[in-house]
Amino acid sequence: MSLSMVIKPPLQSIQPLKSHADVLSLLDAHNIRYVRIQWVDLVNVVRCRILSVTHFRKLLLLERPGVTMTKAALGMVVLQLAPGFSAVGEYIYVFDLSSFRPCHYAPRHAVFFGFFQEKVSVPRPTGPSFEVPSCPRMVLLRLLNYAAEELGIQFLVGFETEFILLKSTNPVIPVHDHQWSTSLAVTTGSIEAQALEEIVDAIQEDGIELQMYHAEAAPGQYEVVTGAMSPLEAADALVHTRETIYNIANKHGLRATFAPRLAQDSCGSGAHMHVSVRGERQGTSTSEFLTPLESTFLSGLMHHLPSVIAFTLPLPASYIRMADGIWSGGTWVCWGVDNREAPVRLTNATTPSSRNFEIKTVDGTSNPYLALAGVLACGIIGIRDDLALAVKNSDVPRTAAEMSVAERETLGITERMPLNIREARRYLAADDAIKDVLGVELVENFLQLNQVMLGDGFD
């Protein structure tokens, strides 16, 4: 519900690292004593190992600096293993030294992300490789490399993070019963204002651009809008932003929740994704607002977005938020200029330098790497296959849900989004193009884990 995000080159307060010496200098400069090695598994649990900085320095001397990890790490739901995973064998979780970020929510700590790798190379269709096909972060990186090298395209991504601050979870009591963007929600001296200011200070001190924060429409609900980055950096920053919100809220005796919808009589919380696409593409566009490249990207979204909703909306509660008439994107596959009742909103339509697509069908229960990989895969397929955009701009006063069948058909709106997680899984399982781009093994493992997590049987 925030203003359109301005997509522009990100602040470079944390420079990419090129050597172990750079890492050691940063550890010293920030007086780091502990290093958090973080990863996000296939069911969006943020996991970590906390190393002493002394031990971390020793690991940097290894040929592939990292920590060993059971192969069950990517297949666990609490203590249950999903089919296809085993407690036998180990991966190396290899540090990505360019992902360094200080943790102001945990003083004298720093965080690194990494990539799951095999201990020894294994045969793959493209040749021997250390890559683990179900490593979410590697899936995203591999997709970005393909887009840049084969299609000549790059992306910038920013996120809006919505959350609710609670004074109590049993019973559920929000910190404030405020209205949308009201100043009363950030009253000076209140516990919520103190927590929010410490949260946004920490986000900025950790090298993430803060654009704004404000009260959202549900009781106790707030939104933090962060700036645009390259997709892998943006996913890392989103994980860090969520960890910052959760930890600092806890410090103030509050509980932060990213649950999609706490109350039927109020709005839900999303994680709206803003994507801009850049590159050279000849041809024509069916929309006055779009370049040929943007048109084919958007066409890919219109064709395949229903197939990746399982990644972006992975829980039953996610579909309670994605209802018609509550500004969450609605249930029809469509797009529109500044249409908040469409799953894809074109923002800053008349300003090419900041024009971007807002994907509203994402919430805070999704794994950021899988959600982003899924959305970008849709657009990449559209660009690769030069898909013509058949769905027209829906910037008319009536929403798709309010239109008649004939009115929707006039705009090319003929398909609904999945209305529950089981339907979403079926869409994903049936989309061979998405599986080809993201990898069959990743998709199948995700589907297995989602079913185990929800305990709703196998489709």
CA 280-8-437 angle, 5° bins: 50
Q: Where are the beta strands (DSSP E) in 227-371?
A: 255-257, 273-279, 335-337, 344-347, 356-359
Res 456: pLDDT: 78
Integer CA distances (angstroms), 312 to 64, 231, 347, 450, in order? 32, 15, 20, 12
Please give the average per-residue pLDDT across 179-195, as a whole number.
88
Task: Give residue 79's pLDDT.
Answer: 86
pLDDT at 405: 96
pLDDT for the residue numbered 282: 65
> Higher-confidence residue: 197 or 185?
197
pLDDT at 283 over 50: yes
Indicate the pairing of strand 34-40 with strand 109-112: parallel
Rounded-to-integer distance, Cα 241 and Cα 425, Å: 28
pLDDT of residue 184: 83
Res 14: pLDDT = 40
Per mean pLDDT, which range of 202-211, 279-288, 296-305, 350-359 is the poorest? 279-288
Across the chain, mean pLDDT equals 92
Inform me whether the pLDDT recorded for 198 exceeds 70: yes
- The sign of the CA dihedral 190, 193, 196, 200 is negative
Banded model confidence at residue 88, pLDDT cuts 50, 70, 90: very high
Residue 1 pLDDT: 37
Burial of 11 by CB count in 10 Å (0-12 exposed, 13-18 middle, 19+ buried)? middle
For the cut 70, the answer to whether the pLDDT of residue 43 exceeds it is yes
How many Cβ atoms are within 10 Å of 242's Cβ, its own excluded?
22
Question: Over 50: is that where the pLDDT of 9 sits?
Answer: no
Mean local confidence (pLDDT), 178-193: 87
Q: 275 near 298, Cβ under 8 Å?
A: no
Torsion of CA 355, 345, 199, 265, to 10 degrees: 160
395-427 pLDDT, tens digit per residue, is 888 999 999 999 999 999 999 999 999 999 999
* pLDDT at site 379: 98
The residues with which 157 forms a beta bridge, in sequence order, are 229, 275
**Backbone Cα Rg of the chain:** 22
Average pLDDT over residues 206-215: 96
Q: How far apart are CA 166 and CA 148, in angstroms?
A: 43
- Rounded CA gap, 208 and 48, in Å? 21
Per-residue pLDDT at 137 exceeds 70: yes
| Amino acid 430: pLDDT | 98
| pLDDT at residue 229 is higher than 70 | yes
Report pTM: 0.94
The maximal CA–CA distance of the chain, rounded, in angstroms, is: 68
Res 76 pLDDT > 80: yes
Note whether 123 and 62 are within 8 A (CB).
Answer: no
